[in-house]
Structure 1
Amino acid sequence: MSLPAAEPENPKREKSAPQRAMEKLGLVRDIDLALHLPYRYEDETRIVSIASLRDGDNAQVEGTVRDAQVQFRPRRQLVVRMDDVSGGLLVLRFINFYPSHQKTLAAGHRVRVRGEVRGGFFGLEMVHPTFKAVEEDTPLATALTPVYPTSAALPQAYLRKAVASGVQRADLADFIPAELVPKGMTSLRESLRFLHHPTPDVSLAELEDKSHPAWQRLKFEELLAQQLSQLQSRRERDLQRAPAFEIKAGGLQEKLLAALPFALTPAQRRVVEEIAGDLQKDVPMHRLLQGDVGSGKTVVAALSAAIAIEAGWQCALMAPTEILAEQHFRKLIGWLTPLGVGLAWLTGSRKGKARKEMLAKVASGEAKLIVGTHAVIQDEVAFARLGLAVIDEQHRFGVQQRLTLRHKLAAQSLEPHMLMMSATPIPRTLAMTLFADLDISTIDELPPGRTPIVTKVFGDSKRDAVIERIRDEVEQGRQVYWVCPLIEESEKLDLQNATATHQQLCEALPGRVVGLLHGRMPAAEKAAVMSLFSSGEMAVLVSTTVIEVGVDVPNASLMVIEHAERFGLSQLHQLRGRVGRGSVASVCVLLYTGPLSDTGKSRLKAMAETTDGFEIARRDLDIRGPGEFLGARQSGAPLLRFADLATDEHLVKTARIAAERLLDRFPQAAEKHIQRWLGGRSEYLKA
């Protein structure tokens, strides 16, 4: 029987369901199949006696079928009894079965059976075990049997054959010179063959925790490909040209600094200098500005924009939501309009004549600073001279949106400088790996006068007590946020939940304005609600929309997060950062509905224990993995499948050194290695 190939021989022939399922899993090339590794193994290399079985064992037995009956209790099922020379008896139970099952499992037939043993009403049994007909001399497997990640449309047996075929055909030559491979590692070919079919004497613990030398080679190869891609990206950008902005004494940046109603913190001054240094070079800046919630990133962006504008260029600032974009716009208008800077406001909700006027200002160069959502990069937006692009909360933009911005400016002879901002601090291992192509500036202190936030965790049964606390805060002239989760699959249900909470708070606070904000409201209505809350006329804001970034109301002193167990750790931290912005002591209440999962418990415990954004980020990496931080850099698929950033930092460092040497001395080998591991995904790493 011929083995299934990674690609159909005739592309015009309609693909089978398993082939379509393989494509969905990304198993297109032979090397994709070779790198599709088992997530566990079954030991079919030995037989144990039925008499020795215990409840909970995963085992393989061999014996003779004594009888097989189709029973109806309470539903139709096939019940088979078998024994072996040890005298033990085992029941096999099949709820779903076919005539072929009954044929193979007929009385008197010898069978080999594997599955999980459990105690049943009639003794030990296996439910839906794997089985096959055997003779007395049928040989056992000589290696552990791989179990691969798959889908319902892709049977394990089909996938095993396809992977075995892919491993045979794939080019597994070592592209990396031996001198760059850490000592003691086996070749790629040996490592892959071993991991697909390990010998039975191997330590299963070493395979499961990926500490086996074969796993170490795979991790090193993967990290090397990722480091090569990042290094290549940085070097390609170093060959590009960007406008070098001259910073003049008494220029717009100095005027803005003098006009600000507050002094910069030392950390803000430091990062402004780092950015200014980049903007004076003719190489495109590619810098990530990270700082905890409320650390003052917007003013750093404004001072950076002032440098570009003073030099005669435009600056675009993109934010992921209209609420956040409008917050930026209001602040920037207040700071820059008195200094004679023309601003444009572009969002999806701005239509008609007003939109045309804004587009004309952008195209003519009259608008020096363009603020908005992803509408800033739509086809009809033409910049006169874009010199700096600022992307706020960069991890929440789709990779395609960031690439669109770069491609949109391809017609310019000069690349714009790019400043990305994030209120989710990047843990050190992530900075060394998936953000290695960026320069990183960190604002590591909060402006003076900020009060610490106390975080309290309560079960939903304490809801009435929380509402009583809200009444107290409002009586003292303070304001309150109440956030309900919004999950796409149950948007309608969550909206009802928010509406019910809004009604409950309206009844509990007669004579007070309680607002409701949700995703289905028109943009103008949302803006009106936010305006009432910002101005202090609204006492409580119930919201389902993402208000976690940028909203700045110093008088808000209490944040209630309902169903806190549904939120990610970084998102909880962002939400908490909406309070504690004034001089009043602030509280964040996390209301949860039990029972809590282990992950839910870990999140809420972390929130109660620390308000340090970097510690939160480290714990989030431990709990959730890197996806939260990468956003669209992973383009829907994790770029690191095998390496673990929590435990493999030593390999990251080794891969970084090897990547530089490989790219310098063996550039063709480096390119082959990137193609093998990343294929077309390397562009996403560079976005």
Structure 2
Amino acid sequence: MSDPVNPAPVVPASALADVVDADTAAKLAGLGLTTVGQLLFYTPRRYAQAGVVATDELPEAGDWITIVGRITKADLIRMKRRNGQFLKVHVDDDVRVYEASFFNPRFIKSKLRPGARVMMAGKVGLYQGRVQLSHPEWAVLPDGTDPDVAAVGNAMMSELYAVEHESREANGDEPGLDDAFERAILPIYPATKDVQTWVIWRVIRNVLGRLAPSADALTSEQRSQRGLRTTEESLRAIHLPDDLGEIDAARERLRFDEAYAMQLILAQRARLGRAETARPCPRVPGGLEDALRARLPFTLTAGQESVLAEIDGELDRTVPMSRLLQGEVGSGKTLVALLAMLRVVDNGQQCALLAPTEVLAAQHNRTIRTMLGDLGIGGELGAAENATTITLVTGSQRTAEKRQSLLDVVTGTSGIVIGTHALLQEKVEFFDLGFIVVDEQHRFGVEQRDVLRAKAAGGRVPHHLVMTATPIPRTVAMTVFGDLETSVLAELPKGRQQISTSVVPIGRPAWVDRVWARAGEEAANGRQVYVVCSRIGAEFSEKEPAMEAPGNRREAIALVDLADDVAARLPQCRVDMLHGRMPSDEKAAVMDAFTAGELDVLVSTTVIEVGVDVPNATVMIIVDADRFGISQLHQLRGRVGRGGLPGLCLLVTAVPEGSAAFRRLSAVAATTDGFELARLDLAERREGDVLGALQSGGSSSLRFLSLLSDADVIADARGLARSVVDDDFVLGDHPGAATIIDAVVGSRADFLDKS
């Protein structure tokens, strides 16, 4: 297959649908590539170079990989259980030997012979440490040793010849197929079964041959100061390198471009925020804020007082506050947010607290009502003078209850509105929204965050506080929350106890027995126990995210089965279960019973991960702990040790003790420092999730920039971006900057329109 050749020049903003045929454009769109710029920033995962080891990482089972190597062995083997033969070849790419099997190889056995240089692509299977490819796509590549060798293969053949045809048509005397695959270095792109690496390379070579000169995001002086080449030179070098030195230099520039693109967006957001207006909310002497402070049975920590001073100073201005409050589990973020909300209520405005789950929203509702007492039951018998009203809004409320809640919100009866995503619906209208608190910001996209901001009245923008109990390394905060000022609560309130953590291998039955014995002992002493697992049951398997670790074939224990097992092991205990698919009233009833001490053991999914506060709970048992991320484990562990009693967390796992997953669990057990765990989590997940958060749920990933080690690059890009945006907000005089935003992150309009 060959695309229709259009010799017209292309620019980074050109749509791929105008450059390649419709079928190829649709396939590339499946990778998130819709423009020439996005395609050119879709850079090789690795390179195949004769005699050079590119990577020694063992691929995961199920990965789609592309290899270039030489066949060292080819055997025809007769099948035992049916008639016929299959061809097994060994391919050595200077890293390892791969096994590839072809069934009924009648037409290919003469081509796939020892000594042939081949490219193969297929899905990985692993057997005793060997990488196996079953009936992969393949081609024999010219290597200069045999002038009669042509590129042949199955689906690969026509694609490879398209490289030659398009190169010649687009570039005149540009070398074709033989030269392409005799290059010293061959790029290997992240690929799928539908979009092979050679398809990507074919289109990229075509585009590079027709790429019109365009403005660079940096001036020659800025490039010289940083020792960087142009973006266009770097893109050509990254896709068609003549030596490894070219690749390294290209990566340096594209690393800066990734940082610069994101910082430009954040600088634009921050500039928009500075131009918006909010109603100032100074302290009101004798108001609800003062009343709650006077009633607190403890002294605020120095950290809480410091953060409140920062928040109070910003609430007193007409510029909307935009602040990130991060802190350890149990550091008192909710109380800080509540005192800030009361200041806004004292000034006659409403506050909204957005939570990611109904369980957490209900927990916030209970906690805040308890903290406020008669200060939070306005309009009811026994309410304090000037008391406000608290309203809960969730998606599963009964019609009459929700109607009354929405009425209280729109009339201004409710001073504090707590809710889930239901608050984002169009029918939810506020009387005068002045302050938004978003709990666990990583659960919400930028777009959702801004929907709630748009509900303010009179053209004003609400003050905005983002809370997270998942500590964020400084470089991540600069990248994802670069438009927010940051406050950190590192000090735990008095009374919080240390939590000891142990990893329990299922392969040691005596250890497992001790887990349940320990749970029974705590219950016998009047304490309570959480037991958490990763899945509900078979009937929900299609709706739940896959949580199984790669290569781990053991099925995760289901909640319904685990609850029965726990009840059998602890017959003296009152056991119940909780999961996100339960009706809202049932979830509330179970959580209320556990909070009231009417249950000894709560068997749950991760709906209790964040915010749930039961001071009497002292033990957290996490079954199949290897199925959870580091931050999830840290959050779950933080549910115990909250009532002045030591906490215990037991991580039960079936993974081998020497495995990477077991080492990860051991790292969690070794420290309760959330910031250290956040660094480990980032190193494990890489930066794809981070960029996804910046893109409101997009799927692109950082290819060159490391948020762990490139703090200097991020800081440099941030300073330059702010100076450029301050002088040229729409980047009209900086077309190169606009181009890299579109190429690296996606359309700028997605962010600017919401603001």
Q: TM-score, normalised by structure 2?
A: 0.78
User: Matches of residues 494-533 of structure 1 in structure 2 within 5 Å?
Assistant: 497-533=558-594
The corresponding residue for 1:354 is 401
The corresponding residue for 2:93 is none
Deviation at 1:601, TM superposition (A): 2.5
Matched, 1:472 2:521: yes
The corresponding residue for 1:636 is 698
* Partner SS for 1:8: helix
The corresponding residue for 1:432 is 478
Change in Cα spacing, 1:80 to 1:537, as seen in structure 2 (3 Å) is closer
> In structure 1, what residue type is equivalent to 2:390?
L
Matched, 1:166 2:207: yes
Deviation at 1:595, TM superposition (A): 2.8
- How many percent of aligned residue pairs carry the same amino acid? 38
* Partner SS for 1:420: strand
The corresponding residue for 1:55 is none
Matched, 1:645 2:710: no
The corresponding residue for 2:255 is 219
Deviation at 1:169, TM superposition (A): 3.5
The corresponding residue for 1:300 is 336
State which of 364, 388, 393 in structure 2 corresponds to 1:341: 388
Deviation at 1:391, TM superposition (A): 0.8
Change in Cα spacing, 1:39 to 1:630, as seen in structure 2 (3 Å) is closer
The corresponding residue for 1:135 is 147
Deviation at 1:136, TM superposition (A): 5.9
Deviation at 1:489, TM superposition (A): 4.2
User: Matches of residues 312-461 of structure 1 in structure 2 within 5 Å?
Assistant: 312-334=348-370, 335=372, 336-337=375-376, 338-339=383-384, 340-409=387-456, 412-460=458-506, 461=509
Matched, 1:246 2:282: yes
> In structure 1, what residue type is equivalent to 2:38?
D
Deviation at 1:539, TM superposition (A): 0.8
* Partner SS for 1:680: coil
* Partner SS for 1:546: helix
Matched, 1:624 2:624: no
The corresponding residue for 1:36 is 42
> In structure 2, what residue type is equivalent to 1:527?
A
Q: CA separation in 2, counterparts of 1:421 and 1:643?
A: 26
The corresponding residue for 2:626 is 565
Change in Cα spacing, 1:93 to 1:151, as seen in structure 2 (3 Å) is closer
Q: CA separation in 2, counterparts of 1:535 and 1:632?
A: 37
Q: CA separation in 2, counterparts of 1:659 and 1:393?
A: 28
* Partner SS for 2:608: coil
Q: Which moved more, 1:561-570 or 1:27-36?
A: 27-36
* Partner SS for 2:32: coil
Q: CA separation in 2, counterparts of 1:602 and 1:132?
A: 42
The corresponding residue for 1:95 is 102
Cα root mean square deviation, aligned: 3.5
* Partner SS for 1:480: strand
Deviation at 1:268, TM superposition (A): 0.8
Given that 1:449 and 1:582 are in contact with CA atoms closer than 8 Å, whether structure 2 keeps it comes out as yes
Q: CA separation in 2, counterparts of 1:455 and 1:467?
A: 15
* Partner SS for 1:591: strand
Given that 1:292 and 1:444 are in contact with CA atoms closer than 8 Å, whether structure 2 keeps it comes out as yes
Given that 1:31 and 1:167 are in contact with CA atoms closer than 8 Å, whether structure 2 keeps it comes out as no
Q: CA separation in 2, counterparts of 1:671 and 1:153?
A: 31
- Structure 2: 5+ residue stretches without partners: 7-14, 53-66, 91-96, 122-131, 150-177, 377-382, 545-553
Deviations 1:641-663 (A, max 9, x none): 32111222221122122223333
Q: CA separation in 2, counterparts of 1:240 and 1:527?
A: 39
Change in Cα spacing, 1:681 to 1:576, as seen in structure 2 (3 Å) is farther
Q: CA separation in 2, counterparts of 1:396 and 1:80?
A: 48
> In structure 1, what residue type is equivalent to 2:16?
E
The corresponding residue for 2:662 is 601
* Partner SS for 1:329: helix
Given that 1:516 and 1:541 are in contact with CA atoms closer than 8 Å, whether structure 2 keeps it comes out as yes
Matched, 1:271 2:312: no
Q: CA separation in 2, counterparts of 1:238 and 1:92?
A: 60
Given that 1:393 and 1:421 are in contact with CA atoms closer than 8 Å, whether structure 2 keeps it comes out as yes
* Partner SS for 2:496: coil
* Partner SS for 2:466: strand
Given that 1:288 and 1:439 are in contact with CA atoms closer than 8 Å, whether structure 2 keeps it comes out as yes
Matched, 1:677 2:677: no
Deviation at 1:673, TM superposition (A): 4.0
Deviation at 1:319, TM superposition (A): 0.6
Change in Cα spacing, 1:320 to 1:597, as seen in structure 2 (3 Å) is farther
Change in Cα spacing, 1:574 to 1:629, as seen in structure 2 (3 Å) is farther
Change in Cα spacing, 1:333 to 1:602, as seen in structure 2 (3 Å) is same
Matched, 1:463 2:499: no
User: Matches of residues 97-116 of structure 1 in structure 2 within 5 Å?
Assistant: 101=108, 105=111, 112-113=117-118
Given that 1:308 and 1:315 are in contact with CA atoms closer than 8 Å, whether structure 2 keeps it comes out as yes
Change in Cα spacing, 1:260 to 1:162, as seen in structure 2 (3 Å) is same
The corresponding residue for 1:481 is 530
Deviation at 1:114, TM superposition (A): 5.7
Q: CA separation in 2, counterparts of 1:227 and 1:320?
A: 27
Q: CA separation in 1, counterparts of 2:100 and 2:309?
A: 72
Deviations 1:168-219 (A, max 9, x none): 34455313112223433222122111111211x426xx95xxxx12100000
State which of 134, 145, 148 in structure 1 corresponds to 2:186: 145
Change in Cα spacing, 1:632 to 1:651, as seen in structure 2 (3 Å) is closer
State which of 672, 677, 680 in structure 2 corresponds to 1:611: 672
Change in Cα spacing, 1:545 to 1:184, as seen in structure 2 (3 Å) is closer
Change in Cα spacing, 1:389 to 1:100, as seen in structure 2 (3 Å) is same
Change in Cα spacing, 1:684 to 1:602, as seen in structure 2 (3 Å) is farther
* Partner SS for 1:288: strand
Q: CA separation in 2, counterparts of 1:165 and 1:95?
A: 32
Deviations 1:380-416 (A, max 9, x none): 111010000111111112444223223444x641011
Matched, 1:286 2:335: no
Given that 1:316 and 1:369 are in contact with CA atoms closer than 8 Å, whether structure 2 keeps it comes out as yes
* Partner SS for 1:515: strand
> In structure 2, what residue type is equivalent to 1:156?
T
- Structure 1: 5+ residue stretches without partners: 47-57, 83-89, 117-124
Deviation at 1:42, TM superposition (A): 2.1
Q: CA separation in 1, counterparts of 2:188 and 2:742?
A: 27
Change in Cα spacing, 1:288 to 1:631, as seen in structure 2 (3 Å) is farther
Change in Cα spacing, 1:673 to 1:41, as seen in structure 2 (3 Å) is closer
Given that 1:223 and 1:640 are in contact with CA atoms closer than 8 Å, whether structure 2 keeps it comes out as no
Q: Which moved more, 1:322-331 or 1:177-186?
A: 177-186
Q: CA separation in 2, counterparts of 1:91 and 1:456?
A: 39
Given that 2:692 and 2:699 are in contact with CA atoms closer than 8 Å, whether structure 1 keeps it comes out as no
> In structure 2, what residue type is equivalent to 1:590?
L
Given that 1:316 and 1:390 are in contact with CA atoms closer than 8 Å, whether structure 2 keeps it comes out as yes
Q: Which moved more, 1:21-30 or 1:617-626?
A: 617-626
Q: CA separation in 2, counterparts of 1:330 and 1:126?
A: 56
Change in Cα spacing, 1:305 to 1:486, as seen in structure 2 (3 Å) is same
Q: CA separation in 2, counterparts of 1:481 and 1:631?
A: 32
Deviation at 1:274, TM superposition (A): 0.8
Change in Cα spacing, 1:477 to 1:59, as seen in structure 2 (3 Å) is closer
> In structure 1, what residue type is equivalent to 2:517?
E
Given that 2:655 and 2:661 are in contact with CA atoms closer than 8 Å, whether structure 1 keeps it comes out as no
Given that 2:228 and 2:253 are in contact with CA atoms closer than 8 Å, whether structure 1 keeps it comes out as yes
Change in Cα spacing, 1:141 to 1:34, as seen in structure 2 (3 Å) is same
Change in Cα spacing, 1:191 to 1:100, as seen in structure 2 (3 Å) is farther
Deviations 1:290-321 (A, max 9, x none): 11101111111111111111111110111111
Deviation at 1:423, TM superposition (A): 0.3
The corresponding residue for 1:177 is 219
Deviation at 1:62, TM superposition (A): 10
The corresponding residue for 2:126 is none
Deviations 1:135-183 (A, max 9, x none): 2697672441111112111233322111112223445531311222343
Q: TM-score, normalised by structure 1?
A: 0.85
Q: CA separation in 1, counterparts of 2:256 and 2:637?
A: 38
Q: CA separation in 2, counterparts of 1:37 and 1:659?
A: 24
Given that 2:44 and 2:189 are in contact with CA atoms closer than 8 Å, whether structure 1 keeps it comes out as yes
